[in-house]
Amino acid sequence: MMLVDTHVLVWAVENNPRLGAQARHEVDTALANDTLAISAISFWEIAMLVDKERLEVDEALDPWRQRLLDAGLVEIPIRRIESSSQQRANGQRRCSRRTDGCWIGAEACGASMPRNKSSRRLSSARRG
């Protein structure tokens, strides 16, 4: 499973040249093999960027998200939210240097669902 960050998803969908050729190849290969994943929190982050007018999406976000999922993108649900003190109590080490002490963990749960493995690109999932 290849978990990509929000900006990688956005650049892949936009076919943005900031996503280099090698990264583009890796993303496309993972998508074709049903192993390209994004945390559900990334869709929230994209919604916040759209609300702040820092990102444009050419359609409503729900159908945009669904189109990406239909293209083979795997959405990893948010599993838990814990403070750093809860992590220490559970014997986990702190994953972040953030001072607010919070972290959000996304975990692949049942993410391997069979899909049509036809040639796919996220940029072709864009509307229009």
Give me the chain's average pLDDT, please: 77
C-alpha torsion angle, residues 72, 35, 15, 67 (rounded to 10): 20
pLDDT of residue 123: 64
**Residue boundaries of the structural domains of the chain:** 1-76, 79-111
Written as one letter, the residue type at 12 is A
**pLDDT tens digits, 27-63:** 999 999 999 999 999 999 999 999 999 999 989 999 9
**pLDDT tens digits, 85-121:** 665 666 655 444 443 444 444 444 434 433 444 445 6
Mean pLDDT for 6-13 is 95
pLDDT of residue 79: 76
Q: Is 110 exposed, middle or buried (0-12, 13-18, 19+ CB in 10 A)?
A: exposed
pLDDT of residue 119: 46
CA atoms within 13 A on the CB side of 113: 14
For the chain, what percent of residues have pLDDT higher than 90? 58
